[in-house]
Structure 1
């Protein structure tokens, strides 16, 4: 008897989000083809000197510890530093592709020109720049959130005789040797660019309109985010639901306390206060920003009012400064224009989003759980539209497991009315936050989203650590492991620990034990060093 033909799935984009989507869809039996316009995988984690191509700065150190930054069933190599380099991430992604033998399913150097849906059979037509069109049963858009650079509109920019670029074009700090550089934007990218320029540029200033919370990567010898355990995430969900204003004050107070513990009292001249709420803006993760401000290697200046000719810039304070280069670290916006308008999830933005100060003219994708198309949930899904403070690779892994389980028929989506209610509620929440600042459009409530993802992907987490009989059994039989799961580092391997519908990873238990042991050893080492320092 002839076997039924496997459904063909196209994954567009082969950065970290695309390659994990290919892997998880293959595990559920789909015929998957991944398309990437570059000649390599890994997206922005592959450094290139091409100023028209987005890539990480070579000197970048990642902001998320490796235990949280990895995919769920493929840890970073033992011995990798807690916060590794951009090159180590690039090597990690290449190793992931080789380990799961994904390369035969990739079409590199292939640009997708447009994606449309056939009216007669519902299949998707992909048109390419230099090859014949192909048809697929399903499509995953994995082009990621960093598509179009957002350049600020600056009065008089046309009369500035210096260099004005977006951070996308910043590749080598040596090219700014001896120059006076102004960086627009006090965020993670702005901090990284400033640090890279130290020792090269003659003068470095960060121009910003609001403050920021600055957090270290390490605190007491371990990742500062190690406090964000699974128990914390669950309690956070309860507080968000019952006491949202109290919860927000608590999060901001905790983040500020970490900042104070790490750096002490900050100088008011740096204008880090008042900072936006952590619900609206990401904390700046940097071990060098405060030190650079303290040493005056980097200066904090007011926002830019206008360019006044030549190399002169007028600040909002009225002060006029001179600069040879201005680097705009002002972020990116998503772009879904590959799709025909009917299936573009951002094609009909609400007035509430358009008129919110924090929307910044960015597209807002209306997707169920920020993954599934509302117009074709059975065959169109998106990667890179889910965000909260955790590892992006882990999030992408979980999201693509959800897609694979739903499309394979092992899990189901709720009725359209329920999905519509979720989308409307999520949009209202984001628009409310956008009244206060430039909120990330794809931010979701962590606890609620993870609960949905756990059920949909079939990871068995809440079943084994909740109040069910399996939860009590796990607590009774595995007290030590249960404690690690609840209060230890919130590791990526956690999501592959329990049996469920998605593929189980036999190495999850050993990985959780290893990481918890490393954290305890690092914490004890830091404690002894602190005692020794006090004694001296």
Structure 2
């Protein structure tokens, strides 16, 4: 680029940090803005009125799969890191890639508007004149505005009623009778953290679910999903989605039943299809049910008294605390309305039972603005069964290559048609049950992102001629990639549009060797 384009990245949590780094790497002049006094977003525990992890949070994804593509976790970190260890990793990331000078902390942004006069984006900061940028990435994340269901007669309730974002210290609920509403990972963590503090814990849910441990056979469960299995799965989902859905659901149910004995009275069956849901990852929730520390109950229907609720099956419970673990709403209100992708939610989505009152953003590939794709993008609205750090590393690599001009977007009408078709698919699932608004078809999205980012994955792994050449020249490495741990470092291994990491091969070998999956066959040319 003859002239360095300026980019504002709004938010310096994990999404913002990797976006800043990948844009800088491609020559953009990037400034990150963060309202907090620290980077890392929700990974930094705080008792302030902000979304954050708990002090006791343990990550569900292994460190081997949950890192960025070109920086492993430090030595000595356990397979499933604590939240504090993840925050330290993010600080290490900032230091390793020299990002600190590019980030303005303690900066509160009033709004972001587009100036027709300057043909640039104006970032309006509290107490300062606007700063103009060629491009903007909204990386504020999705965990900011609490989504709270409408409960009949809630005004009658005289107990404490909070959203999970305000749940910080389990000991504050000593001796209380608590109803935890929801059935995802947050609900599981909240209920299990209350054990030993609350006198009674009810876990209220309208649907079933699959519960998996973090480890099985002394191995992290996500180590069992290798590149070969993922490719086969993606192919099945593309050509025979019904068959893929049946196989996937059956496989996860078997994994659950291998680790736990599930009792019918807990109401976990039938579980929603994994095509639109994810398993609960918990080592202690089933034990809590078994011991009676946590009681699994039907969904919350209404409040019937100052300290009484009625469930969907007619059961009445005496409780003095309700904690909503019902997720968050995507909020891009910093943008002027015509550029906010959540302001055009369709009636079909709004009326769908599974939308849960949350907006469905209209974005190409869940990343690019339809109004200003050449200068406005979003990080945080892509969801499928994949480690988040890896997903957004690849997403921001793709963004950088497209904005740099090395990869192209389709025409506006084609992008609109693509978004319309995607929304039809999402709305179709929302008729049957809850759907996360950022959901995408994982295999399809990854093929697009790898092509746009230029990772070389699509060409070098598989049955194209480059794939055969790679296999012939690097058999043990190919064996590790295809059958070993699905390491994020593979996305930096091959030559391509994005910057290659020279340490990728050693990192892939190390992670497989450390976990007993190192191939015995040696390359002829090593």
TM tier, smaller: over 0.9
- In 2, Cα distance between equivalents of 1:410 and 1:121: 26
Tell me how far 1:232 sits from its aligned partner.
Answer: 2.0
Tell me how far 1:121 sits from its aligned partner.
Answer: 4.1
Tell me how far 1:113 sits from its aligned partner.
Answer: 1.1
Query: Residue in 1 aligned with 2:205?
Result: 208
- In 1, Cα distance between equivalents of 2:481 and 2:422: 29
Q: 2:458 aligns with which of 438, 458, 462?
A: 462
* TM-score, with length taken from structure 2: 0.96
| Counterparts of residues 322-337 of structure 1 (less than 5 Å) | 322-337=318-333
Runs of 4+ in 1 over 6 A off after TM superposition: none
Query: Residue in 2 aligned with 1:353?
Result: 349
Tell me how far 1:416 sits from its aligned partner.
Answer: 2.3
- In 2, Cα distance between equivalents of 1:231 and 1:136: 43
- In 1, Cα distance between equivalents of 2:284 and 2:370: 44
Residue 138 (structure 2) pairs with residue 141 (structure 1)? yes
Helix, strand or coil for the counterpart of 1:475?
Answer: helix
Decide whether the 8 Å contact of 1:15 with 1:143 is kept in 2: yes
- In 1, Cα distance between equivalents of 2:444 and 2:300: 40
* Aligned-CA RMSD value: 1.4
Decide whether the 8 Å contact of 1:64 with 1:390 is kept in 2: no
| Counterparts of residues 8-157 of structure 1 (less than 5 Å) | 8-50=6-48, 52-157=49-154
Decide whether the 8 Å contact of 2:344 with 2:361 is kept in 1: no
Per-residue Cα deviation, 1:494-532 (whole angstroms, up to 9, x for no partner): 11111111111111111111111223279xxxxxxxxxx
Query: Residue in 1 aligned with 2:386?
Result: 390
- In 2, Cα distance between equivalents of 1:474 and 1:375: 41
Residues 236 and 122 of structure 1: is their aligned pair in 2 closer, same or farther, counting only changes over 3 Å?
A: farther
Number of aligned positions between the proteins: 518
Residue 193 (structure 2) pairs with residue 193 (structure 1)? no
- In 1, Cα distance between equivalents of 2:438 and 2:107: 28
- In 2, Cα distance between equivalents of 1:245 and 1:8: 46
| Structure 1 runs not aligned, ≥5 long | 523-536
Most deviating of 152-161 and 326-335 = 152-161
Query: Residue in 2 aligned with 1:294?
Result: 290
* TM-score, with length taken from structure 1: 0.94
Residues 425 and 227 of structure 1: is their aligned pair in 2 closer, same or farther, counting only changes over 3 Å?
A: farther
Query: Residue in 2 aligned with 1:480?
Result: 476
Query: Residue in 2 aligned with 1:340?
Result: 336
Tell me how far 1:4 sits from its aligned partner.
Answer: 4.5
- In 1, Cα distance between equivalents of 2:510 and 2:477: 11
- In 2, Cα distance between equivalents of 1:18 and 1:400: 9
Residue 313 (structure 2) pairs with residue 317 (structure 1)? yes
Decide whether the 8 Å contact of 2:152 with 2:301 is kept in 1: yes
- In 2, Cα distance between equivalents of 1:421 and 1:317: 43
